[in-house]
Chain A
Amino acid sequence: MYQTNYHRPSSVQEAAKLMSGATEGKYLAGGMTLIATMKQRLAAASDLVDLRHIAEMKGITVNGRSVRIGAATTHHEVASSAELGAVCPAICALASHIGDPHVRHMGTIGGSIANNDPAADYPAAMLALDAKIITNSREIAAADFFTGLFETALDDGEIITAITFDAPAKVAYQKFPNPASRYAMAGVFVARRDNGDVRVAVTGAGSNGVFRHQGMEAALAGNWSPDAVGNVSVDASDLLTDLHASAAYRANLIKVMTKRAVAAA
């Protein structure tokens, strides 16, 4: 790791100020991605501004069906929140399958979303739940937030402070893990609201990162059942081919995971 300066602010404002004073600063959340990258010398932050000790960024509040999760909330806290589980069990289940216990006790929802790894789990949940990404300066709809591989709508120095969403009536997440990394080779988050609105968000498979599958959504809006998925075609040409799986196989996984998610919702 290259030399770096560590800062521990106790408010969002202080964090933003520290960042604006740094030459090549980086926010540090769980460090599960960032520290590993720095150790490999693939990232060289002059300053690390730690977001884990800011009270306003932590914790989960559930009000009726409206949910707010502080950006510095760990995967473990999400996985084990009974309140959240009562209205949106799928996001708890999703968090409970990220990495291993060490990763879940360190990694945060804000860090995961800011990083926007194309195989990460949370981005699919954000899209399907129609979540809002709250930052220190604005609210960004999930639909506008994830802009490409490891790319987001965040401006330099902008801090995600929380995410909010209204929990849909039916939700489920099904993930087919990559056998090596256990990130998603294809992960599908389905959500159906009482008004009939259906969202199907896919992670791990898109060559441009997380995306919604319109064909699946249309079919499931008409007929919310696993059978409805059978006739939907998944175009492999927009999907990722890598060492682990071809686009054609990922296309198959998307169908299978969608089917299973609908069955589980």
Chain B
Amino acid sequence: MGVEGIGARVARKEDKRFLTGKGRYTDDMSVPGMKYAIFVRSPHAHAKIKSIDATAAKAMPGVIDVLDGKQLTADGIGNLICGWMIHSKDGSPMKMGAWRPLADETVRYVGDAVAVVVADGVNEARDAAEAVIVDYDPLPVVTDPVKALADGQPQLHPEAPNNLIFDWELGDAAATDAAIAAAAHVTEVKILNNRLSPNAMEPRAALGIYDSGDDHYTCYTTSQNPHLARLVMSAFYNVAPENKLRVIAPDVGGGFGSKIYIYPEEIVCLWASKRTGVPVKWTCDRTEAFLTDAHGRDHVSTVKMAFDSSNKITALKVDTIANLGAYMSLFSSCVPTYLYATLLSGQYDIPAIHANVRTVYTNTAPVDAYRGAGRPEATYLLERTMETAARELGLSPAELRRINFIRTFPHQTPVIMNYDAGDYEASLNAAMAAADWDGFAARKAEAERRGMKRGIGMSCYIEACGLAPSSAVGSLGAGVGLWESAEVRVNAVGTIEVMTGSHSHGQGHETTFAQLVADRFGVPIDSVNIVHGDTDKVQMGMGTYGSRSGAVGMSAVAKALDKVEAKAKKIAAHLMEADESDIVIENGELKVAGTDKSVPWFQMALAAYTAHNLPAGMEPGLKEGAFYDPSNFTFPAGCYICEVEVDPDTGKTEIVQFVAADDFGNIINPMIVEGQVHGGLAQGIGQALLEGVHYDPDNGQLLTASYQDYAMPRADDLPSFKVSTSNTPCPNNPLGVKGCGEAGAIGSPPALINAITDAIGNNALTMPATPEKVWAAAHAAN
């Protein structure tokens, strides 16, 4: 591996810039003549817009213009769309209601944009935004997804009677029902998955620049996938054709999924720049972020899990209602379907599974993928159910899981996925050893003497990452392919630039991708630059989400490196008059194996560009590109164990130990992997213990619109994590990597809730497990 190659704990190259305040974020961008946008947003969760009067606002100092939805519609800007088609079980396509970047007739959630003010400064724009008079005719509101499906409720979109977007199923209903009818035991639970706000540290922002000379647009924006943004803005929103639109996502301070989507604001900034003739910048404030960033999760499910007399699972039946909010965001439809129901087999050999999913419109912010996206929902449901079943069956949680683990690979589940590799028992054993599971009884007794209730819980998760084989997702309704692309450019002096379609917004690609190159050619990582986030610099890309950058993005780089390596060897062989099959690359030199002949890497590169002495017929230069389309998903898996102490007087939970044993396949940089796990755990623990978006059910006002009311996890809410990995390489990509970005957020919530319910002796507890809920549940148990 070398000191900087694959597997090395290399410090992050990008951190110097981030830690010294030299990061370059969208809001740092400034261009001559730039003006500022402020959006006029609906204070109502549901209303008809009767009129918009901007006369006074337009006359205010510093105001360039005030634009509204009617003008946007007149200019032919398209609707925001959901890019993954799901069909209901009756064959009908999902009911996509119109989402206008600026609402022109109806507003459907608090924060829906209705107009934009462009002014010399942010303050002038804000003053004018307050002066825009919007006359609303308020309509009744529904925020609860179960209620929204009932008759007689407020209707959000005429296309979707009873607010039903689709009623979809996966799996064999008849076989599942038959197995449940024949079961020795059936565990039934109701599972709620709370709604979350993504809270990236950097709020969203956009800078739209229209150049009338070239009829060309540039958009700086906080995106996890600039090429996808360009594609969607061109193909669907009619902002500009792709060759006339450059999208740049510079440094981006966290996304967690919320920056995958194309939001109204970047479209409006581009359009407004053309309308006003000036570059237009918008930066979200924190309140706007709470109101308008796509939220995550929000499921209501009922579960039946059937067992035979030897405690083997015979069937799983799931009915889920998923709240998608007021509009269908870009990937909203695939999250509660193909990223969720396909994972319901978990780590277990389950012969029959049936899942029914109904998605629903409500007067709330759109809901889409958030760290884990569908897989946390599946894992929480399954692992809470397993824990409940173990308690009902009188088995230890580990024993019930061991009885049901999948042990041979490949394994075809009844819900599409074909698991390629794994060793679930290895992770379970590692986690139990690290957690000193056997010593728990003594620790519990000791806590009891202090008046504390101690509990332990586990969760065995699996996720499908490395999104995704294009033909597979295409057959399931995806509107795009999920390959990745890379270019490797070796300069004449031997330094290397890698242009990747992956996008780093905290993941550390500038380090790990460089490690891949260093590993291959034995060059220092400082001689390797990773270029990403600019559609003019990077050929093509699908961006970063779904833990895909390692498995898919780096595999594309590896393929390009193969081509560079082959050509480099040809050149070196020619220079040394050797056979190319004898050339080996080591420590920055190309050597003839078994001799002392060698050419330094830089000399070979120079030869490629001077082209004075190349093999006959060879093109000059050394630059290669590749597209990589994975042949399967990857399947990271692991076991998490959480130990808690609950104060029975207050219901406060303290996490006294958290163990994570993961199987991520091969690891490029263990330090970065640990960081990803730590961050994921913090978010998962946040979901389970603290976080929750609340709307007032009567008027749809967002009650958790600031950190005064939305509880984010802080360092002192978290223990020191014990993380370890035991890795089975992924057989389906050249690097054997699986992905580690989401695991922590996927696996941790059920472990924590299982531990708390164990401590208090009451299984009825929902997330977030606030002190009051835990206190009430603990007292109900006694």
Q: Contact between A245 and B772 (Cβ–Cβ < 8 Å)?
A: yes
Complex Cα gap A253–B127 (Å): 44
Measuring CB to CB, which residues of chain A are less than 8 angstroms from any residue of chain B?
A: 1-3, 40-41, 176, 179-181, 183, 243-246, 249, 252-253, 256
Complex Cα spacing A40 to B712, Å? 21
Instruction: Please measure, in the bound complex, the distance between the C-alpha atom of A189 and the C-alpha atom of B153, giving whole angstroms.
Output: 49
Q: Which residue of B lies closest to A41 (CB)?
A: B126
**CA–CA, A180 and B596, complex, Å:** 67
Interface assignment of B708: CB less than 8 Å from any CB of chain A: yes
Q: Is the CB of B711 within 8 A of A180?
A: yes
Interface centre among A179, A244, A253 (most CB of B within 10 A): A179
14 contacts between A and B (CB under 8 A): A3-B123, A176-B652, A179-B689, A180-B690, A180-B707, A180-B708, A180-B711, A181-B708, A243-B703, A245-B772, A246-B772, A249-B776, A252-B649, A256-B650
Q: Is the CB of B287 within 8 A of A40?
A: yes
Find out whether the CB atom of B694 lies under 8 angstroms from the CB atom of A249. Answer: no
**Which residues of chain B are near A252, meaning CB under 8 Å?**
649-650, 775
Query: Other than the known A181-B707, A244-B772, A252-B775, what 7 A-B pairs have Cβ atoms closer than 8 Å?
Result: A179-B711, A179-B771, A183-B708, A243-B694, A249-B776, A253-B650, A256-B650
Collect the chain B residues with CB atoms within 8 Å of residue A179's CB.
Answer: 689-690, 711, 770-771
Which of A1, A243, A245, A249 is within 8 Å of B123, CB to CB? A1
Chain B contact residues: over half helix, strand or loop, or mixed? Answer: loop
- In the complex, which residues of chain A have a beta carbon less than 8 angstroms from the beta carbon of B694? 243
A256 and B649 contact, Cβ closer than 8 Å, known pairs A1-B123, A249-B772: yes
CB distance from B196 to the nearest CB of A (A): 14
Among A40, A180, A245, A246, max chain B CB count under 10 A is at A180
Docked complex Cα distance between A2 and B689 (Å)? 38
Chain A CB within 10 Å, residue with most, of B123, B649, B710, B712:
B649
What separation, in Å, do the CA atoms of A183 and B709 have in the docked complex?
11
Residue of A nearest to B709 (CB): A180
Judge if B704 is at the interface, Cβ distance under 8 Å: yes
Give the residue name and chain of the B residue nearest to A40 (CB). Answer: B287
Report the Cα distance A183→B123, complex, angstroms.
31
In contact, A176 and B770 (Cβ under 8 angstroms): no
Q: A1-B123, A180-B709, A256-B649 are known contacts. Are A243 and B704 too (CB-CB below 8 A)?
A: yes
Least CB separation from A245: chain B residue: B772
B287 closest partner in A (C-beta): A40
Complex Cα distance A179/B711, Å? Answer: 6
Q: How far does the alpha carbon of A3 sit from the alpha carbon of B126 in the complex, in Å?
A: 12
Nearest CB in chain B: distance from A6 CB, A: 16
Distance of A41 Cα from B129 Cα, bound (Å):
12
B702 shortest CB reach to chain A, Å: 11
Q: Smallest Cβ distance from B152 to chain A, in angstroms? A: 28
CB-defined contacts of A2 to chain B, threshold 8 Å: 123, 127
Q: Mark B643-670, 1 if CB is under 8 A from A, else 0.
A: 0000001111000000000000000000
Report the separation of the CA atoms of residues A246 and B776 in the bound assembly, to the nearest whole angstrom: 11
CB distance from A173 to the nearest CB of B (A): 16
Q: How far is the CB of A66 from chain B (nearest CB, A)?
A: 36
- Return the chain B residue nearest A180 by Cβ: B711
Bound-state CA distance A183–B707 (Å) is 12
Closest to B714 in A: A182
Q: Which residues of A contact B776 (CB under 8 A)?
A: 249
Q: Which residue of B lies closest to A186 (CB)?
A: B650
Q: Which residues of B contact A246 (CB under 8 A)?
A: 772
> A41 vs B125: C-alpha distance in the bound complex, in angstroms?
13
- Report B55-89 residues with CB < 8 Å from chain A CB: none
Set of chain A residues within 8 Å of B130, measured between Cβ atoms: 41
Give the complex CA separation of A244 and B127 in angstroms.
34
Q: How distant is the Cα of A179 from the Cα of B714 in the complex, in angstroms?
A: 10
List which B125-164 residues lie within 8 A (CB) of chain A: 126-127, 130
- Judging by beta carbons under 8 Å apart, are B709 and A243 in contact? yes
Q: Once the chains bind, are A176 and B709 in contact (CB under 8 Å)?
A: no
Q: How far is the CA of A183 from the CA of B710 in the complex (A)?
A: 13
Chain A residues within 8 Å of B651, by CB: 249
Q: CA–CA, A243 to B702, complex, Å?
A: 11
- How far is A40 from B286 in the complex, measured between Cα atoms in Å? 10
**Chain A residues whose C-beta falls within 8 Å of the C-beta of B712 in the assembled complex:** 180
CB of B228, distance to nearest CB on chain A (Å) = 34
Q: State in angstroms the CA–CA spacing of A251 and B709 once bound together.
A: 21
Q: For B713, give the chain A residue with the smallest CB separation.
A: A179
Bound together, the chains give a CA A1 to CA B771 distance in angstroms of 36
CB distance from A100 to the nearest CB of B (A): 9
Q: How far is the CA of A1 from the CA of B137 in the complex (A)?
A: 30
A58 to chain B, nearest CB (A): 29
CA distance A181 to B707 in the complex (A): 6
Instruction: Give bound CA distance, A246 to B710, whole Å.
Output: 17
Report B731-773 CB contacts with A as 1/0, cut-off 8 Å: 0000000000000000000000000000000000000001110
Given the complex of chains A and B, what is the CA–CA distance between A256 and B775 in angstroms? Answer: 12
Q: Which residue of B lies closest to A259 (CB)?
A: B649
A244 to chain B, nearest CB (A): 7
Tell me the bound Cα distance from A181 to B705 in angstroms: 12
Enumerate chain B residues within 8 angstroms of A40, measured Cβ to Cβ: 287
Give the shortest distance, in Å, between A239 (CB) and chain B (any CB). Answer: 13
Bound CA–CA A256/B694 (angstroms): 28
Q: How far does the Cβ of A122 sit from chain B's closest Cβ, in whole Å?
A: 18
Which of the residues B123, B649, B650, B770 comes within 8 Å of A244, measured between beta carbons?
Answer: B770
The CA-CA distance from A61 to B645 in the complex, in Å, is 42
Chain B's closest residue to A39 (CB) is B285
Are B649 and A180 touching (Cβ within 8 A)? no
Residues of A within 8 A of B772 (CB): 244-246, 249
B717 smallest CB distance to A (angstroms): 8
Distance (Å) between the CB of A164 and the closest chain B CB? 32
- Chain B residues lying within 8 Å of A176, measured Cβ to Cβ, are 650, 652, 771
| Minimum distance in angstroms from A38 CB to a CB of chain B | 12
Cβ-closest 7 pairs across A and B = A180-B711, A249-B772, A179-B711, A181-B708, A256-B649, A245-B772, A180-B709
